[in-house]
A and B are shown apart, each in its own frame.
Chain A
Amino acid sequence: NAGVTQTPKFQVLKTGQSMTLQCAQDMNHNSMYWYRQDPGMGLRLIYYSASEGTTDKGEVPNGYNVSRLNKREFSLRLESAAPSQTSVYFCASMRTRGSYEQYFGPGTRLTVT
């Protein structure tokens, strides 16, 4: 039981490049989330998926797209990376909305130059 896994752990991109951050959970959770964490800003929600087949914008969705590929996997895509997207990205999952407790992956540290 690996919990929530994220790939890659580290990534350096040049401005304008694209990439997809992968997230998978093996806990059969319905809801999945993508956050970014910047120094002094706490965690900010980018997108979330309350259940398979649905996605919704969070607080800071601009510049990102997501895909809930199946119940296990939720990917985050940067179509044209910008230096402002330099951050640490965390994926999380939750069993159901009623349970509220979230389980986090180890994070992806992304640098855009």
Chain B
Amino acid sequence: SQQGEEDPQALSIQEGENATMNCSYKTSINNLQWYRQNSGRGLVHLILIRSNEREKHSGRLRVTLDTSKKSSSLLITASRAADTASYFCATVLSSGNTPLVFGKGTRLSVIA
């Protein structure tokens, strides 16, 4: 069964706007990661946040983690048409000795 669930399932915004996607999970984690998948391609790792971190930045990406609510959010600022893709959260359970468990993804469309 899926550990992470992304919300919304689909998101459509104008170029230049910010995009926010959320991920909720069920059990305690070691870390949470976000991946991007362009249509017909494999997934690409974007960012990892550990359970003892609350916020992390990478370029136009900002990730937050709230372990008390078992949730994370991915913010893409000043979106571009090239950001159009599906975004997945993936978790590693707190034992650290388990494979990634992926959510179902958010489909982001950025309209030029």
Shortest beta-carbon distance from A105 to chain B in Å: 5
Determine if B43 is an interface residue (Cβ-Cβ < 8 Å): yes
- Mask of A69-113 contacts with B, CB within 8 angstroms, 1/0: 000000000000000000000101000011011111111000000
Q: Which residue of A lies closest to B4 (CB)?
A: A42
How far is it, in angstroms, between the C-alpha of A107 and the C-alpha of B96 when the chains are bound? 26
Count how many chain B residues have C-beta atoms less than 8 Å from C-beta atoms of the other chain: 23
Q: Are A107 and B45 in contact (CB under 8 A)?
A: no
Count of chain A residues with Cβ under 8 Å from any Cβ of B? 24
Contact across chains for B44 and A100 when beta carbons are under 8 A apart = no
Contact among B43, B99, B104 with A58 in the assembled complex (CB-CB below 8 Å): B99
The reply to whether A41 and B104 form a contact with Cβ atoms under 8 Å apart is yes
Seen from chain A, the residues whose Cβ lies within 8 Å of a Cβ on chain B are 4, 33, 35, 40-45, 48, 58-59, 90, 92, 97-98, 100-107
